[in-house]
Amino acid sequence: MRSRHIITVVLALLAGLFDATVASWFPGNLMAIRLALPLVTVLAAFSSLERAVPAALASGIVLDVLLPSSSGFVTFRYVALALGVAALSRTILTNRSLMGAYALGFVALVIDRVLLFAMNLLTRAFTSSAIPEIRASFIAEALWLAACITFVFVLFAAFTRRFLPPVSRTIGLGGRT
């Protein structure tokens, strides 16, 4: 059990490192290919808070340290996102379907964008030399997040065999088992 948490934190650190060093150099809407936001969203939607919050902390701290933006609130945004998506997945969107996962991903992206906008406003209000965090378009990020959610959902369905069609236990027409 402890090894799963360690693996989750290491994956979150690597995702944050990828986002800060590689994905920030992608041109245009290819900048939407980030790993930390989909990782935190998927963990919050399909796993537990014990995995989602440490992943949000780890990837957020790496992004706060390495990104040139002066907001420094990526950790706060990702933890708030993990808590919000986890609360929604356990109270309102309890159906573990692909459409429910898309809805949770959309909510996560909206939470991230609203908090990013609020943090940029606060940063500009108190400093004159604020460097805004550069993001891809909302549609490009939504499509990337949907692709990541689909990939994880298909893997989840394949490895857990949760969504297989029911198999009849009767042999022939006589109803014998």
CB 58 within 8 Å of CB 35: no
Residue 67 lies in a domain: yes
Cα(15)–Cα(101) distance, rounded to whole angstroms?
21
Question: pLDDT tier at 106 (50, 70, 90 boundaries)?
Answer: very high
Residue 171 lies in a domain: no
Residue 174 lies in a domain: no
Q: How confident is the model at residue 153, as a pLDDT?
A: 84
Q: How confident is the model at residue 143, as a pLDDT?
A: 92
* CA distance to 8, 26, 62, 93, 126, per residue, from 36 (Å): 11, 16, 10, 22, 28
What is the per-residue pLDDT across 51-100, written as a single tens digit (0 to 9) for each?
Answer: 999 999 999 999 888 887 656 688 888 999 999 999 998 888 777 778 88
**Percent of the chain whose pLDDT exceeds 90:** 24
Identify the residue whose tokens are 């907001």: 71
Cα(140)–Cα(81) distance, rounded to whole angstroms?
19
**Burial environment of residue 85 by CB neighbours within 10 A (0 to 12, 13 to 18, 19 or more):** buried
CB 143 within 8 Å of CB 149: no
The CATH number that applies at residue 14 is: 1.10.1760
Given phi > 0 = left and psi -120 to 50 = alpha, else beta, which region is 28?
left
Specify the number of domains making up the chain.
Answer: 1
Q: How confident is the model at residue 171, as a pLDDT?
A: 57
Residue 114 lies in a domain: yes
In terms of residue numbers, what domain contains 56? 2-160
Average pLDDT over residues 119-147: 80
Q: How confident is the model at residue 122, as a pLDDT?
A: 80
Q: Is the pLDDT of residue 162 over 90?
A: no
What is the per-residue pLDDT across 4-20, written as a single tens digit (0 to 9) for each?
Answer: 889 889 999 999 999 88
Residue 8 lies in a domain: yes
Question: pLDDT tier at 26 (50, 70, 90 boundaries)?
Answer: confident
Q: How confident is the model at residue 147, as a pLDDT?
A: 92
CB-side exposure of 12: number of CA atoms within 13 Å? 29
Residue 177 lies in a domain: no
Residue 165 lies in a domain: no
Task: Give CA torsion, residues 138, 39, 163, 142, to 10 deg.
Answer: 0
Residue 99 lies in a domain: yes
Render 48-65 in DSSP notation, one character per residue: -HHHHHHHHHHHHHHHHH
Q: Is the pLDDT of residue 120 over 60?
A: yes
Q: How confident is the model at residue 31, as a pLDDT?
A: 79
Q: Which of 109, 88, 112 is nearest to 100 (CA)?
A: 88
Q: Which of 81, 124, 163, 12 is nearest to 89 (CA)?
A: 81
Q: How confident is the model at residue 172, as a pLDDT?
A: 56
